[in-house]
Structure 1
Amino acid sequence: MRHFGFVLIICVAFIEISNGAAFAQGTVDPSPERLVFPTEKGQKGFEEWVGLEKGSGPWADYYKPTPLHMYWSPKNHYIRPDLSAFKDLFDEYASGDCMGCHEDVTPGIVMSWKSSAHAKPRKSAKFAEKTRAIEETSGIKIEQVTCSFCHGESHDELFLPVADDVCKKCHRQQVEEFASEIADGRPSHRASWISNVVVPWYVEGFRRGEGYSFIGCDQCHPAMERCDGCHTRHKFSADEARRPEACYSCHMGADHPDAETYSESKMGVIYAMEGDTWAFDKGLNDLDLGGPEMRAPTCQICHMYNNTSGKWGHNVTSKGRWRMGTFPPVQVEYKSSMKDYPYGITIPPLNKKIDLYDGENKRKLERWLEVCNNCHSGRFARLWFEALDEYMFAAYRKRDEAQLLVEECFEKGWIDVNARAPYPMGDVLADKLGIKLLGEGVFKALKMSKGKIPVVGPILGVYANFRHDDGNPSQIETEYGNMWFWYALKGYKGVAHGQQDYAWWWGWAPMVNQLSRIKSQHDMLERVYNIEAKLGIGLGGK
């Protein structure tokens, strides 16, 4: 810790300089083969280095990222630090002595690395065989995977590794599996940063000087091509990534309480009681499921079993049927405008309803049943999925009832959209996206109103949980946003993971309570409007 003063100086120096001039670009010679972003458009938006002068993706010109974005999306934003404050350290340690220097400056990183298979690639017969296989397929001789392999030979070329440039050299199969999530669309790990920065409410927050408010979103939606979301730095342990806790830090909370529902389900309780004895040192394809090696499933067992191959791998979305529960199913007969979803919008994944019983989703269900049949009878497992689907259909009928009430408030003029801020980025959405992506109806509505239109319900109406700008959204819109994006999804996760308390008390019960609040708000707005009409004042008196 004797160099703590230098660390403090460099932090202060970065904060000062990051507000003005940019440092040198932090990139490495990229692999010409891009698996994670194979298209030119994707590479330009999410891999082209822009420093901190622009954002990521299609809205890059509309906001400047916070300095932490260097770590969330390093291909876009990483800037090498100014190391002039460390001159004494460079004089003390020989060039290339990364370990010696960093044992002083960042000892935790070095200790983590020393416990890793990167430091000891032949620490057991099993690891020696894996290392030999990697050497054979990659053509790389491996004694140790040291700092320079992942970060460059010197500070002059320092970079942060991503899968296509570094991890793929040794772990090609895993990167290919990860990149195969492209076929499944969003939501997915591969598209986590895309999902974060393309939504209009995110960019609107930056336009209004509130970019730091999204730090929670950024932490769970970084560019997952870094791999360290599951294999944490600098140990990069497969054993660790096979445990449910590896998923908990992101897959939790109001809209996707996976950690809460799994850990308090019978599966999670068995894991809590017995997990210390399970064979997490084994690959998922080598486990004896249901026995002493793993008596109950983990997140990884259920979600990493691949729809295409029938084996476990690094694609976690291939069996996704409900797609997080946020897209309306065709199996429900709607009375609200959800009957017209997706309103002509052609932007994936907003461009269609879900058909739970089409050929593709039927095949996915059979793959789910293959996993469940390791521990349950086929009849029980099939009935459970049937119950999940029926629960969700019923929840969507409640959402539809609520959405109809909210829409009436706008149709009758009880809420004045002209007296409040437009929909996030609504003033530029039409010109930016165009009629082909938005569809004629949405395009014309945005264009003519300059974004001052009501947007409620799945999925663009979720902005009600992220923004409040000059009276937009109103209370009834916020209540509806909480109903479908919080409580309905909590119930969904409760049923999906077999956690009864979330299915009812944190899901269905508060969801219908929200419907009561929405009905009361609807009736109050109607009464106020009618009173104002009689008095010749306010909205009713216009």
Structure 2
Amino acid sequence: MLGSVTKGERRGTRNLRIVFGWLLFFVTSSVAVAGMPPAGSFDNAACISCHEQQDSALVKAWQISAHAKDKPVANCISCHGNSHNRAASKARRDKTCINCHGGYKSPVVHSYAYSKHGLILRIEKNKWDWTQPLAHANYRTPGCAYCHMHAGGHNVSAMIRDPDLLKENGKQIKSIKDATRQVCQDCHAPRYISRLFDNGEKMLEIARMKVREARDLLLQAKKQYTAKELEPAEKRYQEMQSVYLKNVYLGIAHQSPDYQWWYGQPALDGDLLRIKGAINELGRIKNVNLSQQAQCAR
């Protein structure tokens, strides 16, 4: 009959569908396997060789960062481990950074750990899904990697100032603010971010003024007193510049009140007063000696 299908034709159609189904299964399985990262253990050279082909910009960002330039080098293995097993999640956790950056007692870690952001992270971190990308406010509060490797960026130096905080590099500061704003605006309003930036610059400038005053006092004192006499005051000045000025900066960058104040501004005030006191004491001793010499000469 016209339009009817024989039993043999139906069987052939069914067999064709089975063959096509198996073929489709093997094709999709092959694609899935091809898209999976390779298993095994890798060294840093293997990571770079492969990822330069996958995402050359990511590798270049790491190469210009402090992680690649400083010693010891923080390479792929340092942060991600030597396999693809939870490699991204491991690098997102703060403990990966803390272990390398001196532990909780180092100022750079301690200043963040006792900020509001840091305290929330320490309380809640075990409840978070660390497989989420470092963007779009996926985490209630930002950790080390969320800020310094935002959206998977690998130039951790993008938001770090020149170590000499007495320098005022306008171009560098603008670049840092632009990079920082990209992170902060995931959670905060633009006006709030701008206010924090302005307050931070004013606070840092106040700290710089104290260090400059101490420097100028010592420059004047060197015209009257020996290096040995000024050694205690000089040590105080070096401490102001290398420790307490940096603490103020860390307090601003990490929004840590303890470092903005107790470990920062008051510490600068204290050392500045001690330097003034030490120089005044040298002047008093000098005047006493001159007076005694004058009396002996009579």
Q: Structure 2 length as normaliser, TM-score?
A: 0.74
Asked if 1:176 is matched to 2:21, the reply is no
**Bigger relative contact order, structure 1 or 2 (CA pairs below 8 A, ≥6 apart):** 2
Matched residues in 2 for 1:272 and 1:253: separation? 14
Matches within 5 A, 1:78-227: 132-133=34-35, 142-145=38-41, 150=43, 163=44, 165-172=45-52, 173=55, 174-181=58-65, 188-193=66-71, 222-224=72-74, 226-227=75-76
Q: Percent identity?
A: 27
Deviations 1:413-446 (A, max 9, x none): x1147xxxxxxxxxxxxxxxxxxxxxxxxxxxxx
Measured after TM superposition, the shift of residue 258 of structure 1 is 2.5
Give the aligned residue type for 1:494. Answer: G
Measured after TM superposition, the shift of residue 274 of structure 1 is 2.1
Matched residues in 1 for 2:257 and 2:242: separation? 19
Conserved 8 A contact 2:115-2:256: yes
Asked if 1:499 is matched to 2:256, the reply is yes
Q: For the structure 1 residues 315 and 416, does the alpha-carbon distance in structure 2 shift closer, same or farther, using more than 3 Å as the test?
A: closer
Conserved 8 A contact 1:256-1:493: no
Asked if 1:481 is matched to 2:238, the reply is yes
Conserved 8 A contact 1:264-1:499: yes
Match of 1:231 among 80, 86, 91: 80
Measured after TM superposition, the shift of residue 392 of structure 1 is 0.7
Conserved 8 A contact 1:304-1:316: yes
Conserved 8 A contact 1:399-1:483: yes
Aligned residues: 258
Deviations 1:164-206 (A, max 9, x none): x44312333443221133xxxxxx222222xxxxxxxxxxxxx
The aligned counterpart of 2:97 is 247
Match of 1:327 among 147, 165, 169: 165
Asked if 1:295 is matched to 2:140, the reply is yes
Asked if 1:271 is matched to 2:117, the reply is no
Matched residues in 2 for 1:478 and 1:272: separation? 36
Asked if 1:399 is matched to 2:211, the reply is yes
Asked if 1:523 is matched to 2:277, the reply is no
Measured after TM superposition, the shift of residue 393 of structure 1 is 0.7
Q: For the structure 1 residues 402 and 232, does the alpha-carbon distance in structure 2 shift closer, same or farther, using more than 3 Å as the test?
A: farther
Give the aligned residue type for 1:167. Answer: C
Asked if 1:386 is matched to 2:198, the reply is yes
Structure 2, unpaired ranges of 5+? 1-30, 294-298
Give the aligned residue type for 2:139. Answer: M
Asked if 1:259 is matched to 2:109, the reply is yes
Equivalent position SS for 2:242? helix
Matched residues in 1 for 2:36 and 2:223: separation? 63
Matched residues in 2 for 1:365 and 1:496: separation? 11
Q: For the structure 1 residues 281 and 253, does the alpha-carbon distance in structure 2 shift closer, same or farther, using more than 3 Å as the test?
A: closer
Q: For the structure 1 residues 223 and 302, does the alpha-carbon distance in structure 2 shift closer, same or farther, using more than 3 Å as the test?
A: closer
Q: For the structure 1 residues 522 and 233, does the alpha-carbon distance in structure 2 shift closer, same or farther, using more than 3 Å as the test?
A: farther
The aligned counterpart of 2:6 is none
Conserved 8 A contact 2:165-2:246: no
Measured after TM superposition, the shift of residue 232 of structure 1 is 5.1
Asked if 1:312 is matched to 2:152, the reply is yes
Deviations 1:92-143 (A, max 9, x none): xxxxxxxxxxxxxxxxxxxxxxxxxxxxxxxxxxxx96x84587xxxxxx45
Q: For the structure 1 residues 500 and 171, does the alpha-carbon distance in structure 2 shift closer, same or farther, using more than 3 Å as the test?
A: same
Conserved 8 A contact 1:252-1:260: no
Q: For the structure 1 residues 255 and 268, does the alpha-carbon distance in structure 2 shift closer, same or farther, using more than 3 Å as the test?
A: closer
Q: For the structure 1 residues 478 and 236, does the alpha-carbon distance in structure 2 shift closer, same or farther, using more than 3 Å as the test?
A: farther
Q: For the structure 1 residues 534 and 372, does the alpha-carbon distance in structure 2 shift closer, same or farther, using more than 3 Å as the test?
A: same
Measured after TM superposition, the shift of residue 319 of structure 1 is 3.2
Greater helix proportion = 2
Conserved 8 A contact 2:104-2:110: no
Equivalent position SS for 2:64? helix
Give the aligned residue type for 2:204. Answer: M
Give the aligned residue type for 2:40. Answer: Q
Q: For the structure 1 residues 527 and 399, does the alpha-carbon distance in structure 2 shift closer, same or farther, using more than 3 Å as the test?
A: same
Matched residues in 2 for 1:299 and 1:144: separation? 28
Supply the RMSD in Å over aligned alpha carbons. Answer: 3.1
